[in-house]
Amino acid sequence: MPVDPAIVALMEKFGLGDPEPATPPTLAEAREGLRKLTLAAAPNPPIAVGSVTDDTVAGIPVRVYRPRQAGTAATVVFFHGGGFVAGDLDTHDSICRRLCRDVEAVVVSVDYRLAPEHPFPATYEDALAVSRHVAQHPESFGGGPLALAGDSAGGNLAASVALAFRDDGTPVAAQLLVYPCADLSRGPEYPSLAEHAHGYMLTASDLDICLKAYINDDPALAKQFPPSPLRADDHRGLAPAVIGQGDNDALRDLTLAYADVLRAAGVTLRLHRYPGLIHAFLPFDTLIPSVDAAAGEIYADFKKLITAAA
């Protein structure tokens, strides 16, 4: 499937296409590279919302975005992508601003601990701790329904928290999973891992580095929940989900497999596949029309699901 020419041009501009560098970047270089890329792509001035405040929740740094509209609003706990090893409140600031604006919700962006300094289960524990605090103190946030969202590794966390909340009876109005890494096992049942292993933002070597740092590339751990939400024993009764996925993405088949699992379990699902898009497309919505349209579509569907649950 051909990649959107505007994305190809953007990747070439930032040196992200083939050939890949002979020596993989260090972790520090990868983290800084993600920051530079996302900040360069961010709109200037930034998307306007009601307020943006840095805070801590359950001892974990967060950034809280509040919409301009007064009154009760849904609260979305958001988990950033970055392969469990990179990303922070700044790299996903523009995504959270648009999510806040388009969904008209309070967004709590979680600055969870990163691997390898803090391997699994630290990241998952942070995601769960913030989500539980928000669920237990709605009056401190939007006061309305609770929803979960994340991209890539953050989509993995959002899906895993949704499963945990289903199990303990905590209501979740909806979950938004954008190119989620739903299964860390990287089995042969996912041909997209090889098909898009090079030159599509997320490479095979990137995955190797991330999973080595996060779960020590342990095959047994990769086939368990919560590291892999697809591997949970039962997906029935989960919150309705919106999934957004580019077809030119190494994680494509993992995402589609998770969508199949949710459908089979009777979960309300709105799946959007985008033929010309690659992994990690969300930050480029102000630069690429097809990404802008995709973001608008998935956020609108997410808002509908939340509104229906209110």
- Closest C-alpha to 125, from 81, 83, 160: 160
288-295 long-range contacts, CB within 8 A, separation 24+: 288/4, 288/6, 288/7, 288/10, 289/6, 290/4, 290/6, 290/7, 291/7, 294/244, 295/98, 295/102
152 counts as catalytic: yes
Q: Which of 131, 152, 192, 228 is catalytic?
A: 152
Alpha carbon dihedral 55, 280, 29, 58, in 10-degree steps, equals: 20
* Residue 254, φ and ψ in degrees, nearest 5: -65, -45
Q: Which of 4, 151, 206, 249 is catalytic?
A: 249
3-state DSSP call for residue 234? coil
Tell me which amino acid residue 13 is.
Answer: K
Q: Rg (Cα) of the chain, in Å, rounded?
A: 18
168 counts as catalytic: no
Bridge partners of residue 60, in order along the sequence: 57
3-state DSSP call for residue 108? strand
Q: Which of 80, 92, 196, 279 is catalytic?
A: 279
In whole angstroms, what is the distance from residue 264 CA to residue 305 CA? 19
160 counts as catalytic: no
Asked if 265 and 241 touch (Cβ cutoff 8 Å), the reply is no
Alpha carbon dihedral 286, 52, 108, 99, in 10-degree steps, equals: -30
Catalytic residues, by residue number, are: 152, 249, 279
